[in-house]
Structure 1
Amino acid sequence: MKYPLILGFCIVALDVFVWRLRMPPNEFVRLFVRLALFAALSAVLFSAGLSPVTQAPAADAAGPHWLGQVLEIIWWLMGARLLTLSLDSLLLPRAWRRQRLFSDVFGAVIFLAAVVAALGFVLELPVRGLVATSGALAIVLGLAIQSTLSDVFAGIVLNTTEPYSVGDWVVIDDVEGKVVEMNWRATHLLTGQGNTVIVPNAVASKTKIFNNSRPANVHGISLLLEIDPEARPRTVLDALGRALTGCNAILDSPAPNVRMKRTTLNSVQYEVVAFVDDMSKKQAVSNELFDLCYRHLAAADVSLRALGVPPSAVTARDAKEGLLKRVSLFESLAEDEVAQLAKRLSRHEYQANQQILAPETVPDSLSIVHSGVLSVTFNEPSGEREIARIGPGEAFGEAGLLAGLAMHVSISTVTPCVLYQLSKDDMTPFLKQHVEVAKQMCQLLAYRQNKLGELTSPIPTEPEKGHSVFQWLFDKVRHLHSLHNDS
């Protein structure tokens, strides 16, 4: 074969080209291409008498001899790299490949063996003396990098036992985050604030590890609430139980629970525990659950307040006005306007599993939940589906009361409920006196209709020429309540 050295270096250059440009893009195809190039390089070397286990021939010609030596050493290093890639791609489990620790350790061992083999076979150096010297050097280095070696061996233990893997949400050494990388030295966590925290493997192996991703479809939520010790525990437990009932985003199994955790001289601590099926839901569901606990406690006359501060005196009239102010339709009303409406509220009590609103009906009153939990269901071809739950401070029926729009859902009580209702006959005189309030309510209703979707009669997507959705709604309100056409 003519010019074997030139051909060999061309093959090496082509391998570097494939490696650096990642061509072809598929990992396995690229590996087999590089293996084929290594086989071609081996054939060229052996056919030209350049055996990697002996010195290169032509010792009398310095140039070709040293080029042959370099090519043989490259053969050893290239073979070590391809052996590492083959083990990584074809033999190691996918989880180990993501964590990179075993790949790095295997690669280091194989490269060390290739370097020793190249020194012994190609350069014919005294390997025994080199190994003995390197052993003494290894002891010195081992003492110098003791903490690093501790991280390496701890990483091997963590990767073998697999208490967590890349992608899991964990708590390590009081740091919570998502595992984004595991290497020979440390575990990299991405926290909820978007920061990267690096936990050394030696620290992770010695501390408690909470893996929030296992089991895969059950993730716990825990809320701690400090309550005034004057509040009766049974009342608090019942209110928090209704809050759990009113949250349809939590799992039924494992069952959520409430318990009185501990007592002090100034407070009683209650713990609310629930579970969700997706880690990404924890924050949103925690916020929703805390809001529900607050509202159900308030409905039971138990408030979260600074301990030692006496509660403000709340009269029945104040309670009705506060209930109205919590409804978004009435947030913009003045105090005197709220007071007028509060006088018209009527109280209604319902038992559990009692239907309040049937499908395809037009509500003639606005119902505001004072206490209890209601379920909103929608009939589909496949059956009945629950789409929401309603709790204290929420209202329904405003579309029927204001604009005469029918509701396509069924609303029933889940627990015993107390509702305050405002009828059409009570609302009409108020709207006649406060036309601007009617406009404000229509603006809010137009916005909410976009969110309601299938729950009520649809608003035309293309109102009459020159009329907006707001104007369409306001015309219906004006017609339904016989308002003057001067606005």
Structure 2
Amino acid sequence: MKDPLVLGFVLIVVDVVLWRAAFPRNDTIRLLLRLVIFALLSALLFGSALSPFTPAPWPESPGRHLAAQILEVSWWLIGARLLTLSLDAAFRSRHWHRERLFQDVLGALVFLAAVVASLAFVLGLPVTGLVATSGALAIVLGLAIQSTLSDVFAGIVLNTTEPYHIGDWVSVDGVDGKVLEMNWRATHLLTSQGNVVIVPNSVAAKAKITNSSRPVALHGVSIALQISPEERPATVLGALERAVAGSNRVLQTPAPYALIKKTSINSIEYEVTVYIDDMGKSVVVTNQLYDLCHRHLAAAGIELWPLSVPRPPRHDASDSRQRLLSHVDLFRALKGEEIEALSKRLSRHEYEPDQVVVKSDEVTDYLMIVESGVLSVMVTGPSGPVESARLGPGDSIGEAGVLAGLPVQAQVTALTRALIYRLDKADLTPLLKSRPEIGQQMCHLLSQQQDSLRKLNTEIPVPVGTDRTLLEWLRDGMHKLHELTS
């Protein structure tokens, strides 16, 4: 019969190899193999004189006696480890596997019990005296590491009550970030600046915690604006509601809203609140809201000017048209007298909600510039109509028809009451002849717009079988349409 000591150490070596080599790769299969090896080791020990519940045999042979002690103590430690892994696999939810606190604490308790049992059964040491001595030592250590113990017990409370999980966006003690890790000492947060902030569990347990990931797929974003009290609140609220309607990045349920937060002698504070389905969009949506509010307030004649500062004179209608043209990307390079000349050519048109402004594939011989209101731009994608953008004050549509005679590759509909100014193609031709660089800039901007439509798989009516780029084709189309010299 083979020596049980040799067979026992062979089984331990095999178990260690499986553990260190992480073989097989599947955790469950590897755990089952290790449990089988542990069962074989247990059968070997209990079937011989090497029971882990009795002192090691062969006291007359120091070498074999020491080897037997090592084998029996190893049985206790391996059993403790496998028990921890089995409990972890059987009773914990998936996200608990990533939160190490319970795994560490439970493992420590199991290993402590295994060490005490091996000292009592294998080595025959008096456990009562050991426990008394360790109790006094624990008091001394507890006083020395009381802050660490506070973090551990606070971590147990946090993991039990579960105010947040791995991957949640939270605000803890004034720190906003995404939860990366929760361990026995602290919570690790990844901020929007890309920094990792470590918040001790004792601080987190006492702090006010805001979890932006609950309920799922619903997060509020708010901005505040200070408006002069001279402006009528109903007019301001109407402009802010149109600004909110100008964003297609926010959820419509719950409905966004604007309200008066508080008033003072110098200003009235308004708050705009919208909801999004992903906290990763909060920065983009916040910046977009500020821009939309600024544009719609300006379109309503509301200037962000405090009462304590002298207000500049109000602009008349002609000045408003010039300011509107100067905000259009196509005309940013124009001089003041050129803007003034074009503004006199603008014609005013009003549209009611749900009224179609431009039909899909319609070739317009005029440029439309939004003065106020919100327009929806719908394009036809692979899966049907999809909203590509929403237009607000200062936005324009129809550049393709005015510059190169191309149809509008979208249907434009008024979402709210809208005021639009038109600039006819014939009024644009003299400017293109006198300022060729303006035409080049317009073609570049139009080329970028057409590229955006291509990303939505919208067909662009460019001739097939030509080596010219889209920009060159647009430039040639503009020259032919406006009878410009090359």
Aligned to 1:4: 4
Give distance in 2, aligned partners of 1:145 and 1:53. Answer: 35
**Does the CA-based 8 Å contact 2:376-2:387 persist in structure 1?**
yes
Task: State the partner residue of 1:157.
Answer: 157
Residues 457 and 47 (structure 1 numbering): CA distance in 2 closer, same or farther, change over 3 Å?
closer
Aligned-partner Cα distance in 1 for 2:213–2:193: 19
Equivalent residue for 2:466? 464
**What are the within-5 Å matches in structure 2 for residues 41-440 of structure 1?**
41-305=41-305, 308-313=308-313, 314-378=315-379, 384-440=385-441
* Contact persistence 1:459–1:469 (CA under 8 A): no
Query: Which range moves more in the overlay, 303-312 or 454-463?
Result: 454-463
Post-superposition Cα deviations, 1:38-60, rounded to whole Å, max 9, x if no partner, equal 12222332334211111111111
CA contact (8 A) 1:155 1:185 kept: yes
The one-letter code matched in structure 2 to 1:212 is S
Encode CA deviations 1:19-50: one digit per residue, 9 max, x unaligned: 12211111111111211221222233233421
1:67-94 alpha-carbon deviations (Å, 9 max, x no partner): 1101111111111011001111122222
| TM superposition shift of 1:260 | 0.8
TM-score (normalizing by structure 1): 0.94
SS in 2 for 1:117: helix
Contact 2:347–2:423, Cα closer than 8 Å, also in 1: yes
Query: Alignment partner of 1:131: what SS?
Result: helix
Q: Which runs of 5+ in 2 are unaligned?
A: none
Displacement, 1:377?
Answer: 2.3
TM-score by length of 2: 0.94
Query: Counterpart in 2 of 1:450?
Result: 451
Q: Structure 2 matches for 1:13-32, cutoff 5 A?
A: 13-32=13-32
The 8 Å contact of residues 242 and 372 in structure 1, kept in 2 or not, is answered as yes
Amino acid across the alignment from 1:403: A
1:168 offset after TM fit, Å?
0.6
The 8 Å contact of residues 367 and 421 in structure 1, kept in 2 or not, is answered as yes
> Match of 2:412, SS?
strand
Structure 1 window deviating more from structure 2 (452-461 vs 295-304): it is: 452-461
Q: Cα 1:180–1:330, aligned 2, differ >3 Å: closer, same or farther? A: same
How far apart, in 2, do the equivalents of 1:150 and 1:461 lie?
A: 73
Equivalences, count: 484
8 A contact 2:267–2:306 mirrored in 1: no
Deviation at 1:405, TM superposition (A): 0.9
Residue type of the alignment partner of 2:164: Y
Contact 1:172 1:209 in 2 (8 A): yes
1:476 aligns with 477
Equivalents in 2 of 1:409, 1:192: separation in Å? 36
**Residues of 1 paired with 2:374 and 2:263: CA distance?**
29
Change in CA separation of 1:339 and 1:190 when aligned onto 2, cut-off 3 Å: same
Bigger mean CA deviation after superposition, 453-462 or 427-436? 453-462
- Check 1:350–1:199 CA distance in 2 against 1; reply closer, same or farther (3 A cut): same
Offset, 1:160? 1.4
The Cα offsets for residues 226-277 of structure 1, whole Å up to 9 and x where unpaired, read as: 1122222111111101111111211111111111111223221111001011
- Check whether the contact 1:372–1:391 (CA below 8 A) recurs between aligned residues: yes
> Which residue type is aligned with residue 249 of structure 1?
R
Does the CA contact (< 8 Å) of 1:378 and 1:387 recur in 2?
Answer: yes
1:306 and 1:459 map into 2 onto residues whose CA distance is 50
Q: Provide the identity percentage.
A: 55
SS of 1:6's equivalent in the other structure is helix
Whether the 8 Å contact between 2:377 and 2:387 is mirrored in structure 1 is yes
Give the 3 Å change call, closer, same or farther, for CA 346–457 of structure 1 in structure 2: farther
Aligned residue for 1:60, secondary structure, equals coil
In 1, the alpha carbon distance for the partners of 2:317 and 2:178 equals 50
1:178 match: secondary structure: strand
The answer to whether the 8 A contact 2:99-2:182 is kept is: yes
CA shift digits 1:417-444 (9 cap, x unpaired): 1111101121123223323322221122
Residues 173 and 208 in structure 1, CA contact (< 8 A), matched pair in contact too? yes
Counterpart of 2:217, as a letter, is N
**Partner deviation per Cα, 1:133-155 (whole Å, 9 max, x = no partner):** 22222223223322222222222
In structure 1, the residue corresponding to 2:333 is in which secondary structure? coil
For residue 306 of structure 1, report the CA deviation from its aligned partner.
6.3
1:189 is displaced (CA, Å) by 1.0
Contact 2:266/2:306 (<8 A) preserved: no
- Native 8 Å contact 1:69 1:123 kept in 2: yes
> How far did 1:380 drift?
6.6
Conservation of the 8 A alpha-carbon contact between 2:380 and 2:458: no
Q: Deviations over 1:292-322 (max 9, x none)?
A: 1111011112233566443444343332222
In 2, Cα distance between equivalents of 1:195 and 1:201: 19
Q: Which amino acid aligns with 2:450?
A: Q
Listed as ranges, the gaps of 5+ residues in structure 1 are none
- Partner Cα separation in structure 1 for residue 434 and residue 457 of structure 2: 30
* Conservation of the 8 A alpha-carbon contact between 1:187 and 1:200: yes
The CA distance in 1 between the partners of 2:382 and 2:30, in whole Å, is 52
Q: By how many angstroms is 1:278 displaced?
A: 1.6
> Conserved in 1, the CA contact under 8 Å of 2:379 and 2:458?
no
Deviations 1:111-150 (A, max 9, x none): 0100000000000000011112222222232233222222
1:459 shift after superposition? 4.7
Instruction: In structure 1, give the amino acid aligned to 2:474.
Output: L
Q: 1:225 to 1:463 in 2, by over 3 A?
A: farther
Instruction: Write the distance in 2 (CA, Å) between the matches of 1:6 and 1:306.
Output: 89
> What letter matches 1:225 in structure 2?
L
Letter in 2 for 1:203: V
Distance 1:440 1:7, change over 3 A: same
